C-alpha cells in the first residue's frame, strides 16, 4: 500500500550554539549521513534546517511523481506502484527527525516550525493522492493485476494502494477534491492545537504540598521525586506533584490523605477542559470536519470510514466485540467496589468509595487479600534489570543480541543505542530507548522508526532504526529507577512493537514492520507483555536493587495470585473509552456538541459504574483527537488482545520459549508485516480463529454467556 509520507515520532536535543547557521555548512538532510547504519547526525541538525530541507524534499517528490506519470510504458508494478513507494524519501527523511523532536522536545522554535511543516506535509500528500493522472496509472495496474504475474505480496500491495487512493479522494470531482484538501488541512491544524493545549495544560498543573504529614502512605521514591521537582521549580522544602504518570499514579494509589487524592484526580479528569487550554471547542471542529470528510467519501459517518479498511470492517463489528467484554467487566467492578467498601468500613474510614478512592482502596484490598505491597515489588524491578529482561526474552525467543553503541549519535543524553545482531553476527536493526519523562515530552509510551526496512528488486536493501519512548519512574539520589508492575508491562509492550519493526523481512516499504492493519498492530506488543511476569524469565532479571537477591518464589506466587486483581476497573475504563470513541465517530453534528453531556449520556447508556471514569476523557483523549491514528479505532487494543490472549495460550501449551512456536510466530507475524492479510497470518500461526473467551480468561472475567463466544470472523473477520 502506497503511503505518500511516513512520519515517525522521535526527539532531538540541540545545543544553543546550533541556532546560528553558517554560510559554509551544508544542510545535513541534503547530504549522506555517513554515520553508523545511517543514524541521523543529531548534533549537526539546526532548527533552520527543517523547512528548507522539507521544501527541497517536496520539490524532489513532485519531480519523481511527474516522472512516473510521464512514463510512456504500460503501467505495471515496477514503473508505477514500486516507483511511488521509492519516491519522496528526502521528505520522509526530514519528517522522521522533525516529528521526533516535536513529540519529545517541544519548544517555541519547534512549535513555529510545526505550524508550517504539518500543513506542507498534508498539502503534498493530498496533491499526490488526488492526482488524476497518477491515479489513472494506479487504476490501470489494478484493473490488469491478474494478468501481470504478480507475487501475492505485490497483488496485495496493488489492491491496497488502489483502495488508499480511493479513500483519499481520487474518485471525487475537482470541487470535492478541493473541499477535501481544505478539510485535511483544517484537521492538521486542529490536531496541532489539541496537542499543544494538552501538553501546556499538563505542564501547568501543580499540586504543591508544604506539610510532610500529608504525604503519609506515598512511597519514599515518589516523595523524593516530588521534593526534587519542587526544588527545580524554586520551592525547596516543599513537594511538587504533576499529572505525569510516575507522579500522579503513586499519589492516587498510596496517599492516605483523601483530599490530596481528590485534588489529583480532579486535576487529571479536568485536564484541557477549561480556560485558555480548553480542548472542547477544538473537538467540536474535529468532529464536524471528520463527518463532512466521511460524507464526501461516500460513508455514512467517520466511524464507518475509519473501520472500512481494517480487520473489523464496520463500527458495529467493533462494538459487538466490546460489548461481549463489557458486561463481565462491569459485573466485576461491582464486586471490586463491594470489597473496597467492606475494607473501608472495617478500617473505620467512614467514607463511601468515590472515583478518587478506587486506586487507593484497590491497593489496600490487594495488600489485604494477597499480602502484596507494590513498594516491595518495585525493589525487584530496577529499570536496567528490566531492560536486560526484554533483551533476554528476545535472545531466547528469536536469537537476537543487543550490543550498546555508546558513541552512536543520540538525540538526547538519556538515550541508549544498540546494535541488534543475529547469532551469526549479522546486523538486524538499530534499537534506541528513551525512558524518562521531560516537560517537553508528551505523556505515554510509544514505538516508532527513524528508518524503515525494504529489499528492492535490484538487491538494494535497508534495515530499520527503531526506538521506544516511555515516561517511567526516574532515579532519585542513590536509588535507581524502580518500576511499577504497570511500567514493567508497558516496557515489554513497547518492546513488542519494537520487535515487530526490527525483525521485519517484508520486501516492500509499505508492508514492512508495523505497516499492518490498525487492529492487528497491537498483537506483537500485547503478546510480549505476557513474558514479563512468567517465572522462567522473571527469575533471570528481577533482582533486588540493594542486595541483588533474585525475586523469591513466595513473592512470585503472590504476583500470580494477584494477576487478575482489579481487572474489572482496568477493563471497564478501557472498553468504556473504546465505546465512547466509536460513538463520537458515528456523529454527524450540525451544531456544537456538548462534549461533557455526550460523555455522560454514553456512560449512562452503558450503565457505567459511577466509581469508574473513561480511561481518557475527550479533552485529553489524544489517541482520538490528537491525530487520526486511533480515531474510531481505540477498540483495537481489545481486538488485538483477543488475538494475543489466544496466541499466548499456544506458548503456554508448548512452553513459553519453545523454539518451534517462537519460530512460527516470528516468521508468520513479526517478519511478514502487512504483506499478507492479518487474519490469514494469525490462523497460520495459531491454527484457528480466536474468540473473546481467551481474553476473558486472561483477565479473570467469566464469559458473558455459557455458550461459546463469537470469533473475530463473526464480528468482523476478513
Cell numbers representing residue 318 in the block: 467493533
Backbone angles phi, psi at 39, to 5 degrees: -65, 135
Burial string for 52-66 (b: 16+ CB within 10 Å, else e) reads: ebbebbbeebbebbe
CB-based contact 647:665 (threshold 8 Å): yes
Secondary structure element (H or E) that encloses residue 448, with its range:
strand 446-451
SS3 of 615-657 = CCCHHHCHHHHCCCCCCCCCCHHHHHHHHHHHHHHHHHHHCCC
- CA separation for the pair 486, 363 (Å, rounded): 13
Q: SS3 string of 131-158? A: CHHHHHHHHHHHHCHHHCCCCHHHHHHH
The answer to whether 494 is a known catalytic residue is yes
CA 441 to CA 658: how far, in whole Å? 39
What is the phi/psi pair of residue 417, to 5°?
Answer: -120, 135
CA angle, 424 then 427 then 428, to 5°: 105
Which among 350, 336, 438, 321 has a CA at the least distance from the CA of 692?
321
CB 97 within 8 A of CB 18: no
Taking the C-alpha atoms of residue 160 and residue 677, their distance in angstroms, rounded to an integer, is 11
The C-alpha atoms of residue 472 and residue 19 are separated, in whole angstroms, by 31
CA distance 618 to 612: 15
Task: Confirm if 450 and 415 have CB atoms less than 8 A apart.
Answer: no
Do residues 330 and 568 make contact, with C-beta atoms less than 8 angstroms apart? yes
Catalytic residue among 374, 494, 529, 599: 494
Output the 3-class SS for 387-445: HHHHHHHHHHHHCEEEEECCCCCCCCCCCEEEEEEECCCCEEEEEEEECCCCCCCCCCC
Residues recognised as catalytic: 494
Amino acid at each position: 500500500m502506497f503511503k505518500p509520507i511516513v512520519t515517525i515520532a522521535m526527539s532531538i536535543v540541540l545545543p544553543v550554539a546550533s541556532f546560528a547557521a553558517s554560510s559554509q555548512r551544508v544542510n545535513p538532510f541534503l547530504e549522506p549521513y555517513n554515520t553508523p547504519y545511517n543514524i541521523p547526525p543529531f548534533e549537526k541538525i539546526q532548527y533552520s534546517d527543517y523547512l528548507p530541507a522539507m521544501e527541497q524534499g517536496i520539490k524532489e517528490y513532485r519531480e519523481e511523481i511527474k516522472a512516473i506519470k510521464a512514463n510512456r510504458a504500460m503501467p505495471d508494478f515496477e514503473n508505477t506502484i514500486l516507483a511511488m513507494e521509492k519516491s519522496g524519501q528526502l521528505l520522509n527523511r526530514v519528517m522522521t527527525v522533525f516529528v521526533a523532536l516535536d513529540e519529545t522536545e517541544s519548544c517555541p522554535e519547534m512549535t513555529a516550525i510545526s505550524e508550517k511543516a504539518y500543513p506542507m506535509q498534508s498539502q503534498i500528500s493530498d496533491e499526490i493522492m488526488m492526482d488524476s493522472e497518477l491515479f489513472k496509472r494506479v487504476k490501470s495496474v489494478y484493473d490488469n493485476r491478474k494478468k501481470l504475474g504478480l507475487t501475492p505480496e505485490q497483488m496485495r500491495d496493488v489492491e491496497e494502494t488502489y483502495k488508499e487512493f480511493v479513500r483519499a479522494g481520487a474518485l471525487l470531482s475537482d470541487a470535492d477534491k478541493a473541499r477535501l484538501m481544505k478539510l485535511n488541512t483544517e484537521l492538521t491544524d486542529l490536531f496541532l492545537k489539541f496537542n499543544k493545549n494538552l501538553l501546556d495544560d499538563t505542564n501547568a498543573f501543580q499540586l504543591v504540598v508544604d506539610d510532610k504529614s500529608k504525604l503519609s502512605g506515598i512511597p519514599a521514591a515518589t516523595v523524593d521525586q516530588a521534593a526534587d521537582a519542587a526544588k527545580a521549580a524554586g520551592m525547596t522544602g516543599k513537594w511538587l506533584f504533576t499529572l505525569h504518570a510516575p507522579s500522579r499514579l503513586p499519589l492516587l494509589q498510596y496517599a492516605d490523605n483523601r483530599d490530596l487524592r481528590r485534588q489529583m484526580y480532579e486535576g487529571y479528569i479536568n485536564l484541557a477542559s477549561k480556560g485558555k487550554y480548553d480542548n472542547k471547542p477544538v473537538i467540536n471542529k474535529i468532529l464536524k470536519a471528520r463527518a463532512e470528510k466521511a460524507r464526501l467519501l461516500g460513508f455514512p459517518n467517520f466511524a464507518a470510514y475509519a473501520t472500512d479498511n481494517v480487520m473489523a470492517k464496520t463500527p458495529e463489528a467493533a462494538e459487538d466485540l466490546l460489548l461481549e467484554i463489557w458486561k463481565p467487566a462491569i459485573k466485576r467492578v461491582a464486586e471490586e467496589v463491594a470489597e473496597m467498601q467492606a475494607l473501608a468500613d472495617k478500617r473505620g474510614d467512614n467514607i463511601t468509595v468515590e472515583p478518587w478512592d478506587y486506586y487507593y482502596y484497590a491497593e489496600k484490598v490487594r495488600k489485604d487479600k494477597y499480602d502484596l505491597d507494590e513498594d516491595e515489588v518495585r525493589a525487584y524491578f530496577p529499570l536496567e534489570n528490566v531492560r536486560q529482561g526484554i533483551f533476554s526474552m528476545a535472545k531466547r525467543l528469536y536469537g537476537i543480541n543487543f550490543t550498546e553503541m555508546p558513541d552512536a549519535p543520540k538525540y538526547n543524553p538519556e538515550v541508549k543505542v544498540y546494535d541488534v545482531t543475529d547469532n551469526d553476527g549479522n546486523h538486524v536493526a538499530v534499537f534506541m530507548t528513551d525512558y524518562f519523562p521531560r516537560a517537553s515530552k508528551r505523556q505515554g509510551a510509544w514505538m516508532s522508526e527513524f528508518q524503515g526496512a525494504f529489499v528492492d528488486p535490484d538487491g538494494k536493501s535497508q534495515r530499520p532504526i527503531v526506538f521506544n519512548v516511555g515516561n517511567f519512574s526516574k532515579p532519585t539520589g542513590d536509588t535507581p529507577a524502580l518500576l511499577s508492575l504497570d511500567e514493567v508491562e508497558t516496557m515489554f509492550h513497547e518492546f513488542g512493537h519494537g520487535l515487530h519493526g526490527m525483525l521485519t523481512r517484508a520486501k516492500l516499504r509499505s508492508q514492512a514492520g508495523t505497516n499492518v492493519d490498525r487492529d492487528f498492530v497491537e498483537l506483537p506488543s500485547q503478546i510480549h507483555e505476557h513474558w514479563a511476569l512468567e517465572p522462567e524469565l522473571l527469575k533471570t532479571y528481577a533482582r533486588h536493587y540493594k542486595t541483588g537477591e533474585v525475586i523469591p518464589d513466595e513473592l512470585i506466587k503472590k504476583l500470580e495470585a494477584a494477576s487478575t486483581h482489579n481487572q474489572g476497573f482496568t477493563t471497564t475504563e478501557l472498553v468504556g473509552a473504546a465505546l465512547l470513541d466509536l460513538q463520537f465517530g458515528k456523529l454527524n453534528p450540525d451544531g456544537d456538541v456538548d462534549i461533557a453531556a455526550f460523555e455522560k449520556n454514553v456512560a449512562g447508556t452503558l450503565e457505567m459504574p459511577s466509581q469508574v471514569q473513561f480511561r481518557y476523557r475527550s479533552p485529553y483523549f489524544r489517541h482520538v483527537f490528537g491525530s487520526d491514528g486511533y480515531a474510531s479505532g481505540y477498540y483495537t487494543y481489545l481486538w488485538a488482545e483477543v488475538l494475543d490472549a489466544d496466541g499466548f495460550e499456544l506458548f503456554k501449551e508448548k512452553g513459553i520459549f519453545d523454539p518451534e512456536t517462537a519460530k512460527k510466530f516470528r516468521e508468520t507475524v513479526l517478519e511478514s508485516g502487512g504483506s499478507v492479510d492479518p487474519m490469514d497470518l494469525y490462523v497460520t500461526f495459531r491454527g484457528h480463529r480466536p474468540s473473546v473467551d481467551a481474553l476473558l480468561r486472561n483477565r479473570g472475567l467469566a464469559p458473558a454467556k455459557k455458550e461459546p463466544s463469537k470469533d473475530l470472523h463473526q464480528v468482523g473477520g476478513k
